[in-house]
Structure 1
Amino acid sequence: MRKDKNKEKNIDKTLSRLSSNGNAPTYFFALLLLLFFLAIRLLTIVSRSDAAFGFADMKVPMSTLTGVFSSVSHMCIFCIVVLYGKVGYFTSLGLLLLQFPMQLNNIFVNHSPSTIPGVFLNLMTIVVMTLLYRNNVRINKYQERLRNQAVTDTLTRLPNRFACTELVNDLVKRGGKFALVSIDFNNFKSINDTFGHEMGNDVLREIARRLRTAADSGSTGTHDFVTRQGGDEFSLVIRDYSSEDQLLDSIRFYEKELARPMSITDCELYMTASFGYTEFPTDADNTDMLFTCADAAMYEVKRTNSSTNRIRRFTPDLMNNTERTLDIECKLRLALENETVFFNLQPQFDMEHRLRGFEALARMKDTDGSMISPGEFIPVAEKVGLIDKVDICVLKNSARFFSEILKKTGADITLSVNISVRHLMKTDFLAELKAIIEECGLPASQLEIEITESIMIESADKALQCINDLKAMGIKIAIDDFGTGYSSLSYLNSFPADLLKIDKSFIDKMNTGDSAKQYVAAIISIGHIMNFGVISEGVEDMEQLETLRSIGCDFIQGYIWGRPLDPEAAEKLVLTQKQ
């Protein structure tokens, strides 16, 4: 783990928040001190006063208030000790000890025996507050022990699953990019069966030591958090990597450290582990899905049992677990039936930060109101043949909304909608699309259909005819995820597209080396040669933005300037841009 104090404080804050409420605010400490000094001052005044005041037809000497102000001062002392621990105790002790010289002076120099009760009261207060402080120390130690038990694995002393979940929750709320890695050791059960559980525990402790040492060494160049999930399962939370290559290098470093032979009680053991990882927010957008995705990737490594590649990134096809797929399918069918599949709009900008338009993105909520990741329900929709209905639902609702925005603002912006290859190839697609455009009143010239590069391989001739028909209607065509497929330039040249979308994976790697940058520059050049506009997806930082600007990219889409927005927020953005 890199010695980054600020980030370490973030983790410490996450863990300490689980059990400790902390001290009372500093301003309250100052208020108690002020009240204490005020009570002492008033106590001194009234004890020396011969005056009296009227109360219920009685003349009450001012000196009778000495007990009141004495009680207030001692109440302040006890509050400070209880609320502020060690600092409060020694502050209170100092305040009381400072009173003794004045009290003794009154007794022996001023011959004022009335001060004697105050001396004994202060002595008793010191005794009581000392007992109170010592008892609080014991309670705090017990609470600290409970806190450690709540967030620490007792066998390995690593943070446990609960601590990891809390940290991931916090990172998700902050919204920054990070990776969750699930680690499981191969054939660990055989160690327990062959050598016994005590030997197995020793192995787990050695694994934990190596993981902790690797994280603390800073050798990975990333900021890593190691936890034990239970059994022989461990997790890593990895942050501050500049590219997926660096992320993979970091995971390989842990793999290498764990592959070194282990000498446990005169036995030399060789361990191998399976690593599955997932990224936020690319693969999943909530804590539960992050753990599910990382585990799915890890179990796929174990399933394939490869001896050469034991690291796997989560991909949507790993969610083919029958039970989960059926669950998502049922929820998706219900959502489509109840028309609760909805859309968000991610803004697209030119390089001068002028709004080009929006991409409509499908969204769906679970029955409990939580979001279901598009990376989960879109593959299920494609697999079970519901993607057409999802496409139409998003297209119809977003087109209706967009038409209203255009009428209100007169903005010259474009609505971009994804259409699956399967849906595009349907014979009634064009008629269906025309009906939606006419019903919603959306100008065809302000609609853009996004198709994937794979269409040029799967059904080039039929796709070309369909695209020509769309162009004849005045609709724009964007080729999505360009560079990830294997289409030839001759096919590309024959397609009457308007826009190339460079896949996020290339943008992520673009600044890792000159060749990666030149690859993106080449795509942009190809697009311009063919009179296509070029937009880069997944732009997240200024370095990427400046690089794209320097190599002639036309438009960008990504978190740096705009996350997916609900319709209301999208409308506000359009109005802001119009001003």
Structure 2
Amino acid sequence: MELMQELKKIVNVYEALDATTILAVTDTKGCILYANQNFCDISKYSKDELLGKTHRIINSGYHDASFFKNMWEVISQGTTWRGEICNQAKDGTVYWVDTTIVPSKNELGEVEQYIAIRSDITEKKMLAFKLEEQLVHDSITGLPNSIYLESIVTKKIAANEPFYLLKINIDDFKSLNESIGMEHANQILKKISERLKAISQHHHVLLTRAYGDEFILLCPMSKEQIKSFIHTLRKLCDTPIHYLDSEHYMTFCIGGVRYPEDTTSYQDLVYYISTAIDYAKKKGKNTYAFFKHTMLEDIDENLALKNKLFRAIQTKAFTMHYQPQWNAHHEIIGFESLARWYDETHGFISPAKFIPLAERTGLIIPLSYLLFEQMLQDFLRLQNVMSKQIKIAFNLSIRQFFDEQLVSRLLQLCEKYNIQSSCIKIEITEGISAFSVENVIPIIQKLYDSGMEVEIDDYGTGFSNFKYLKDLPIHGMKIDQTFIATCMTSVKRKAIVNSMIHLAHELGFSIIAEGIEDEQQLQYLTAQGCDIFQGYLLGRPQPVNYYEK
């Protein structure tokens, strides 16, 4: 009776397994001796087609030979094997099964059969593959992302295979984003990626999207090949990108790093390539640079300089110099204020060095207001020396221009020193022209309405191509000194200067010429009707006590 009950339990277990799992029994050579209906349903083979065959009949080719070799080594020793297997049905579709193979032994302990118990996990595996795909691919461009790049580069480093990494950063993409919106900018980014992909595939290069407007390319190339490839990349945007009935001309900077010459660490490769592209961007747009270890010295120097700059702002260690501005009657009517910084270690540090550093580090905001206040203090002294009403010009940085408290803080400082806002001229750098007109004009209007005069600095390098120039609420424009320097030796430059003066007057703006260094330039610009003159010929920038003497 007890034996019958035990047999019934065994039968019940078998029936439960047969009903809920995919069952198969094979001999020691792998020939199928039994296959249940679930096996037939998922494989789409009949029992007659399966019996007597090996599992090669459903081999999908997904697993390599070592996978099955390892499995057979385990089960042939009488040990249970567990794993996930990708099989192929009769109609060519693939399916995944979670598999347990249990060796069945005889009285002597010898393996005589294998019982395979499987469950269908196809849906689970497909979801996992989809999530993995999303994890290692960019959703906008469809390109592999930085996670995938790291896995591939790490393998190449382990195999000691030489390669180059190139990083591409699109010039002024932030401005495009602000101008047309993120959704449309992403479509242009996708079109750029398609061009890059076509070139990369042709040269057997792995293209990935790092983040934002940056791409990284893994290039298994020689030194000569990489130079040629970069030349090809730089020609990529010779033709504009067409989107929504508009043409967009795009350029980019490229940074490069080599393995193993530069480093053998993936983290260092990524850091060095970013250092190289930062160096390239400092040289200007649409250029490239390969990493050099001397660049790290520049970074260390910049870090030390940043710390000094922070302390200099706290201790107010800056002075202002003033360059006179003259009218056509040879009278000083005002000054342009220019910042100077003297450090005990470095000596005089050029504004061309510390102003961009302040921009990059975010120190430009406190620095700019400090300099503006210093200028106001000196203005009272200059006003006293001149014994007449004068104006003083202050250069706004790009970050300060977009400071939400800009106008209110400037007016508060003017009120603090009892200086009329109409005595202040605000010069806007040509870099503002890179931003959308919808964001720029309201800020200029607020400055204009405050009573301050607003001038465009470096006219001819940015806003001169601005189609909304006539709508800008400004008072004057300053011709960039590069045009002044060559106007007497270049017929084309002279024609450009003439047209600038004429255009400014037609729009009702005053025109200022800076960088005048000889009498011939002064006489010519006076004859052409220029309103205000500035340059070394007429006076170098000097501290306020120079004028008091």
TM-score range, shorter chain: 0.3 to 0.5
Q: Which has the higher contact order (CA 8 A, sep 6+)?
A: 1
Structure of greater Rg: 2
Structure number having the greater helix percentage: 1
| More strand per residue | 2
